[in-house]
């Protein structure tokens, strides 16, 4: 397809610029780290421009019958995409419409879009304004207006690494207390998902993978929550804990 663009517009510098931009963006994604689909999106812009130019050149180079056959194929793919994505778009529209029309309160709307929102609101009401908070198995700190130690899922869980470094529930409590942390927010949905993966499909050779050593860290975290903390609030599988018996050195 893109050969048609070069044949039809090879003397236009703009086409060469778009082609070079498309290749550079693609190779930046291909050799980049991490190689995630969303990082390829910028490359789609010049590729779509080249695709449009190729489509425009088809009647001249391949004949009108081939052009119409290709057009019908594109329409079929577009129709399939619309049918496939329409439930998601409809659901998002319904959720937004309920808030915009006043049928749903802002607090309820945000809680449906951000799982830890209600737990963050609890922390904001009860913790000192400048006091940091630790987020276990949660890396989204939307609406948490304070310093925080958040988790990381692009590599293996930061909190699991901290637990393994501490070596025990008591040592983990002291480590957090030394940083001025009294409140801990735990996303149990993510915790159980990671624990399930580490138990059923253990692997430790890739960034973000989990194995037996991570299960040991999860065990320390569970002991820390049970022995050193008191649960004060829970909503949407996200709980707020308060560290008990904080060291005098704090």
Helices (H), 154-211: 158-166, 169-178, 188-200
Q: Which phi and psi angles does 234 have, rounded to 5°?
A: -150, 135
* pLDDT tens per residue, range 166-212: 999 999 999 999 999 999 999 999 999 888 888 887 665 555 567 77
Reduced DSSP (H G I as helix, E B as strand, rest coil) percent helix, strand, coil of the chain, to 5: 60, 10, 30
Tell me which of 62-66, 119-123, 239-243 is least confident.
Answer: 62-66
User: What domains lie within the chain, and their CATH numbers?
Assistant: 2-99 (no CATH), 115-243 (3.40.50)
Beta strands in the chain (DSSP E): 133-136, 148-149, 183-187, 229-235, 238-243
Cβ neighbors of 40 (< 8 A, separation 6 or more) are 26, 29
């Amino acid at each position: 397809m893109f050969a048609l663009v070069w044949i039809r517009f090879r003397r236009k510098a703009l086409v060469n610029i778009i082609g070079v931009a498309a290749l550079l963006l693609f190779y930046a994604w291909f050799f980049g780290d991490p190689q995630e689909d969303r990082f390829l999106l910028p490359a789609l812009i010049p590729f779509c421009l080249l695709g449009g130019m190729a489509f425009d050149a088809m009647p001249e180079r391949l004949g009108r019958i081939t052009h119409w056959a290709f057009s019908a194929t594109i329409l079929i793919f577009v129709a399939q995409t619309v049918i496939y994505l329409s439930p998601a778009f409809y659901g998002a529209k319904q959720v937004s419409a309920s808030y915009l029309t006043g049928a749903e309160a802002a607090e309820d709307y945000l809680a449906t879009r951000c799982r830890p929102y209600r737990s963050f609101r609890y922390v904001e009401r009860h913790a000192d304004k400048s006091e940091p908070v630790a987020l276990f198995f949660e890396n989204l700190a939307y609406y948490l207006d304070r310093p925080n130690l958040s988790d990381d899922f692009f590599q293996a869980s930061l909190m699991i690494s901290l637990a393994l470094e501490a070596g025990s529930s008591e040592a983990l409590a002291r480590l957090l207390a030394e940083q001025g942390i009294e409140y801990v927010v735990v996303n149990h949905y993510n915790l159980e998902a990671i624990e399930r993966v580490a138990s059923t499909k253990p692997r430790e050779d890739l960034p973000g993978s989990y194995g037996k050593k991570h299960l040991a860290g999860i065990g320390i975290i569970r002991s820390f929550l049970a022995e050193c903390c008191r649960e004060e609030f829970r909503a949407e599988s996200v709980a707020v804990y308060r560290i008990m018996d904080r060291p005098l050195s704090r």
